[in-house]
A and B are shown apart, each in its own frame.
Chain A
Amino acid sequence: MSATHAAGHHNDSFISKYVFSTDHKVIGMQYIITGIIMAFIGGYLAYKFRMQLAWPELGIMGRADYNSSVTIHGLIMIFWVAMPILVAAFGNLLIPTMIGCDDMAYPSLNMISYWLFLLSAIVAIVSILVGGYGGGWTLYPPLSANMASAGGGGAYGSTLPGIFSGGSLIIVAIALEFFAFLMGGLNFIVTTVNMRAPGMGFWDIPVVVWFIDLAVLVFMFSVGPLIAGAIMLLFDRSLGTGFFDPAKGGDPILFQHLFWFFGHPEVYVVLFPSIGFVGEIVSTFSRKPLLGYKKIIYAALIASFLSFIVWAHHQFVAGINSDMAVWFTVATMLISVPFTSIILSMVITMYKGSVELKSPMLWALGWIVTFSVGGVTGLYLGSVGSDIQFHDTYFVVAHFHYTLIPITIFGGMSAVYYWYPKFIGKHYNEFLAKLHFWLTFIFFNGAFMSMFIPGTAAQHRRIAGYFIETYPQMTEYQDIRIFTTICVIGLIITQVIWIYNMISSYYKGKIAERNPWKANTLEWTCASPPPHGNFETYPTVYRGPYEFSVPNREEDYWPQDQAS
């Protein structure tokens, strides 16, 4: 049947094969490429505002432009880089190939999902071009509901009215993106539940597929309130309603609840796929079963549930009821337990293993180190007593970059380097891959570890330059700001090595065999790259995905589809 599936596509034109494709792998690649382009836009904004912070006397940007740059940087990196690459791209590439089917359950819906996502990215870019929005990525009203003071006029330079202002467009872009991911997510769940290869029970599903599906479920359960909030905000901006305007009987805190009910689980939406990548890679490169596979899934289920009842720890200083603060502190503290369990399982998987430090493994280990820093520093912010001091400071900035960069760059790169031979069909340059890792690791830690110093001193953020006349107590950290900026520039430049490696290997790399890492999951039984329809014949599954170093076997791996 798969062979027939593939044969039906032999005569496809370039447009139908690569542009309006319904093939999950092409759609996955489209998501990755769009995400990378958006990452460079977000990276450029970071470069610009870091330069302003390091050398404010040069006047690289004005105050309003600074606000707009940090806001758009945050929105782009989360909604148009982390989500499409980690969830949509790898979900598309991996789910059908790892569960042993030829495509997604609804290929056309999958294609529409990507095009809607692309439209959202274009709208986001247009919003920058018409003046941007500078009220912070959390879009808090009344500032975001006010055209003149937060984009779309006045200080932000846009002359476009109402719905076409930068602020309104970015809200529309986010809403479009959410619709795109709802379509994509629905596809992922239906595909995993209904289209698994014969013999593949739920406990035979690779951990990465579990985690991508969990991410999608968390997204689907949490996004509703924010979509409602975004529409209400759009009405406040464009139609003069007052949902969040106290003068009209509204309440600005309502939006904060709607935002963070989604905003906190959103971190897990992007985190979960990266845990899955690291789990796959650590097991394969240690030649050991993933330690406590079922417990990791249970821990993730608990964390998913808890992620819905911790949101108000982002609002400890917003004047919420103190009893509420107590309960949200309890829930936030509890969430560290399942994540500790997951991290420990990854680490102990290497115990008595046969560890090989190939580049995907290096990135996975880098993920464990850096993400652990993010986890540990989260304790300060989840605890209401210390959050009073650190809220809205560079401590928060350093903390969330220690969660989101490990998730996106370290987790994402581990996956790219692991599955590149499979989906591109070529080997990359291992030396350049390792150089890329070490430089990224050094510059990333240099940039964000140094940020903890002014952060611990509670230097408040979103300030376009700390001058002697405004914040004299903070001027002593100027050398650290310069150091951070240099490291950020180093981090951005380092990514050129990766781009070069990926492109040159695509043209000149050694042809990759089917299973270069000798792994067990089903995608490694396809040709490299997998043809349309993926498998020559549908595989049957006989065992779980991590049967490495099974006693009395000659080989130290045992693919899921091998009968004996």
Chain B
Amino acid sequence: MTEDNQKTILIVEDEADLRSIMADTLTKQNFKVLAARNGEEGLNTALQNHPDLILLDLLMPQMGGMAVLQKLRQDPWGKNVHVIILTNLPGSDDATIKGVSELLPAYYFLKNDMSLESLTDKIREVLKD
């Protein structure tokens, strides 16, 4: 894979251990990885660097994932960027699910139910579109 078509993925996750294992894995998979520790940082990084895909946690300090997604969708670039929501919030509440479906395209997953392998598979699938 050449430098030109290397895809950039932004990980927005407040849990350091999860952030770093995802970053390591995706780097090994030849993705360019950006990481942010909270929603605010994530939004700024996204708007500055225009990654190809964003992995977004929901429950975070400063700014939650839903707020980040809303702000992204208001941005001319951000309204089309691929977003995969990763959360451990089980099933989440109706509002979250409704919010996510209104702000499509966003893919919604439970972190805990996913292996890293299936996560990278999903990322490749989404980026192919």
Judge: A and B partners, yes or no.
no
Using CB atoms and an 8 Å cutoff, list the residues of chain B in contact with chain A: none
Using CB atoms and an 8 Å cutoff, list the residues of chain A in contact with chain B: none
